[in-house]
Amino acid sequence: MKKTIRTILFLAISQWSFYGYSQINIADSTKKVSPTLTKKWYESINLRGYAQVRYNGLLQTNEDLECEQCDKSWGGENGFFIRRMRLIFFGQIHPRVYFYIQPDFASAPSSSTLHFGQLRDAYFDLGIDKQNEFRFRIGQSKVPFGFENMQSSQNRLPLDRADATNSAVTNERDLGVFFYWAPAKTRKLFSSLVNDGLKGSGDYGVFGLGVYNGQTANRPELNENRHVVARMSYPFQIKNQIIEPSIQAYKGQYTLSSLSSGVKVNDTKTYRDERIGGTFVLYPKPFGILAEYNVGYGPEFDKNADSITTQFLQGGFITASYKLDILDQTIIPFVRYQRYNGGKKHELDARSYEVEELEIGTEWQLNKNFELVVMYTMSSRRFEDFAKQNNYQRGNLLRIQAQVNF
């Protein structure tokens, strides 16, 4: 009897195991082929970001030395300052559709108004071919003019972009449509130049062509003319070194929106706005060089006539660096020299500038999540508008920035 019971139990368990195992396999098989259980678009969304906290008050020799476009905590009784607080939402939601949204929660519309949220990037890339070698970028994004302009502040060595090239497009961005092309192999190289800590600019194609509003990011268009920009850039390797030369240019009409009462302007407040520039990059393996120069025409305040006129502008910079990898840490000493002579169309009265500046600093990457930059700035700046027609300032200051990446 006991033997019979054991036999029945054995057969029952075996039968249950067989059908259970079969049902699990059937369910798994069904799950793999069911169209309702495929990966959803929102499962492709990623989140990353970074934050920068600065202190510019050490060894300051001139409180009147300022740089409105660079860092609004320059000069005066400056203290601790949140320069950037970025969250980046991005993802390949379709084999041919990529999206990127980046707000900043530390925007400063003035030196007395801080920590406002503002949209920086909001665009999507539409791939034309299977490998996305040809793609259109639609929305608000960086204008492909200048290597340092397109290089993320998360990766750049000097704390601020150079006046000479950044004066072309404040916040580096505008709203428009841009076409980019690069072979798949080159796109991988663009990506590795950032991911490997070589301070790359990102993937803006070997060739780029765009049409955009021209009034710069987060500002409405004020005229019927659109800006046009074109850029060619090609990275290539010689033994262990990687070199990237570039040439870029843009052309359009800019309408002034920030004017003092009494300053003279033309009837439409609209001025010629065009530049052409060249770039040379030797990536730091371990010695690196980044050099850029541009010339062009744009609106600029003329104190001799109390008016804003179209004037010639020019300027550039050169940055030298040396990358040292010590155990799990990285140290990059650097030096940058820059000059600029011209107007800044997006500032009050298309403020007139003459800049000469030398910066010496070091970036210390403790790990991938924390960086510290210490930089000593020696600056000579003439910046004049209708209210300040003889404003020449010279001074030095020590600047410190702590950055967290997540």
Give the count of beta carbons closer than 10 Å to the beta carbon of residue 232.
15
Classify domain 37-405 at the CATH class level: mainly beta
Among residues 169, 171, 164, 158, the alpha carbon closest in space to that of 86 is found at 171
Rounded-to-integer distance, Cα 147 and Cα 160, Å: 14
pTM here is 0.87
Q: What is the mean pLDDT of residues 11-30?
A: 36
Lowest mean pLDDT among 52-61, 75-84, 202-211, 364-373: 75-84
Confidence of residue 107 (pLDDT cuts 50, 70, 90): confident
pLDDT for 21 beyond 60: no
Of the two residues 42 and 306, the one the predictor is more confident about is: 306
pLDDT of residue 167: 97
Give the count of beta carbons closer than 10 Å to the beta carbon of residue 79.
10
> For 96, left (φ over 0), alpha (ψ -120 to 50), or beta?
alpha
Q: What is the mean pLDDT of residues 196-210?
A: 96
Lowest mean pLDDT among 65-74, 104-113, 379-388: 104-113
pLDDT of residue 75: 82
Tokens 């500038």 map to which residue?
353
- Element spanning 269, H or E: none
Span 246-292, pLDDT tens digits: 999 999 999 999 999 989 999 999 999 999 999 999 999 999 999 99
pLDDT of residue 25: 36
pLDDT of residue 266: 96
Whole-number percent of the chain with pLDDT over 90: 81
Per the prediction, the chain carries an average pLDDT of 90
Of the two residues 133 and 4, the one the predictor is more confident about is: 133
Confidence of residue 110 (pLDDT cuts 50, 70, 90): low
| Bridge partners of residue 352, in order along the sequence | 343, 384
Lowest mean pLDDT among 6-15, 70-79, 105-114, 163-172: 6-15
Q: Phi and psi at residue 279, in whole multiples of 5°?
A: -135, 140
Tokens 């062509």 map to which residue?
209
pLDDT for 31 beyond 70: no
Tokens 């890339």 map to which residue?
125
Rounded-to-integer distance, Cα 251 and Cα 227, Å: 6
Residues recorded for the chain: 406
pLDDT of residue 111: 62
Give the count of beta carbons closer than 10 Å to the beta carbon of residue 382.
15
Confidence of residue 41 (pLDDT cuts 50, 70, 90): confident
Of the two residues 183 and 2, the one the predictor is more confident about is: 183
Rounded-to-integer distance, Cα 207 and Cα 203, Å: 11
pLDDT for 189 beyond 70: yes
